[in-house]
Amino acid sequence: MFPGNFAWGAATAAYQIEGGWQADGKGASIWDTFCHQGGRVLGDQSGDVSCNSYQLWNQDLDCIKQLGLTHYRLSFSWPRLLPDGTTGHVNQKGVRYYSRVIDDLLASGVTPMVTLYHFDLPQALQDQGGWTSPRIAGLFNSYAKFCFRTFGDRVKLWITINEPYVCAKLGHEDGVHAPGLKEPGTAAYLAGHNMLRAHAAAWHSYDSLYRAQQEGAVSLAINGDWLEPLRAGSGEDRAATERCRAFTLGWFAWPLFVTGDYPEAMRSAVDAQSQKLGYNGGSRLPRFSEDEPAVLGTADFFALNYYTSRKVKAGGGGCGRMSMKADRDAEEVVDPSWPVCGVSWLAVAPPGLRKLLKYIKDTFGSPAVYITENGFSQTGPLQLEDEQRSGFYRDTLSEVAKAINEDGVDVRGYFAWSLMDNFEWADGFSARFGLFHVDFADAKLPRTLYRSGREFAKMISTYK
């Protein structure tokens, strides 16, 4: 049903679990700043302590062992390793922390997958323009090379940047994620462009300097919903669906896997809207320079974060001013037959994952695929016997098996989000995605296995 070497994993991110925001020489990140401004996160909560994994790593490792995971996806905190974002100041205590985590995982027979950037940019670099600055690609490349050099003898699966779409749009268009910018129609495209430049530079550095000796693989984690027309017979809805796909998954997958540039549907929509609004500042969607490392071919596998599906109908973008919504000119709606779990945006639709995997195979040249995030949230009263989430994992893994066995998709692994309840960005601690519950009201932050965790562990032991 699943290949014998299939990666059974769970995922976390540094800012969401580590705490220790000022411990042992760590620099400030944009999420430290964003949370401390107040009024940004539900209940003014923050990741200052969160699961305190910086001090309680042994408990996390026990959780990983209890589940029987073969792989664990974690992220490095850039400002914990390089407090000002540059290699001019290396925090050796941060280096020792991640070295210990990696060594403990390997000693336990667990393969680490490391994400270099999961939303927590050093504040020192944000002060210089952050992801909207052209300099950021070179700074990220220096950070990536430092990590490859320091940890690459033990880490063989690398993700450069997690969900550049979310970082660009929510952080630079909508302002609901750090750094909290609201510059609609411009900053998100620029941030996304620089993230692709940064990723490509890091991939080429790995390829030329480290691959031969370290024999690892590098990619970019792209989030994507499954999208389909609201009215199957409507040409307008079909075209709107393609636009939506171009502005989300395609925005980052097309340059990496298809043409080395953005989808034509995306560029033509942006340029047409600019012309309509009388914008004369050149294309708002930047172009890649031939003087820089090529973006095409800089993914050794397709790293997919999938959570939900949407139906798409034409229209909904006519607001008379520049914005990504206006450029896209399409509206996404939830099928009422899909149950919504916890957070309002998460409609549960496991069949959409199979459809998306098949689309990736057909569109991007049958790449090896790791499902690097997928999960089910719980809000409101705690339910340790979370039967719904247990069913979700059974249904989802059944769809993944069909994608492998019936559709011929080369799926190499599945990482549940998340190992444990954690700080869920603007939702704070109100949304619980964990296989383990964390009691944030208890200073000891005990981890307790959910029923879904027990069921997930059984599935792993059955199939691996």
Q: Are 252 and 196 in contact (CB under 8 A)?
A: yes
- Cβ–Cβ < 8 Å for 311, 348: no
Cβ–Cβ contacts within 10 Å for residue 12, how many? 25
Between strands 226-229 and 71-75, the pairing is unpaired
User: Residue for token digits 């070179």?
Assistant: 138
373 annotated active-site: yes
Give me the catalytic one of 163, 373, 424, 455.
373
For residues 330 and 333, give the distance between their C-alpha atoms in angstroms, rounded to a whole number: 10
Q: Which residues contact 430 (CB under 8 A, 6 or more apart)?
A: 42, 43, 379, 424
Terminal Cα distance for the chain, rounded: 10
Asked if 123 and 425 touch (Cβ cutoff 8 Å), the reply is no
**Where do we find the tokens 């540059």?**
86
Contact 292, 201 (CB under 8 A): yes
DSSP state of 208: I
What 8-state DSSP symbol labels residue 262?
-
Residue position matching structure tokens 């401390």: 36
- Count the neighbouring beta carbons within 10 Å of the beta carbon of residue 440: 18
In three-state secondary structure terms, 309 is strand
User: Cβ neighbours of residue 86 under 8 Å, at least 6 residues apart?
Assistant: 139, 142
Annotated active-site positions, please? Answer: 373
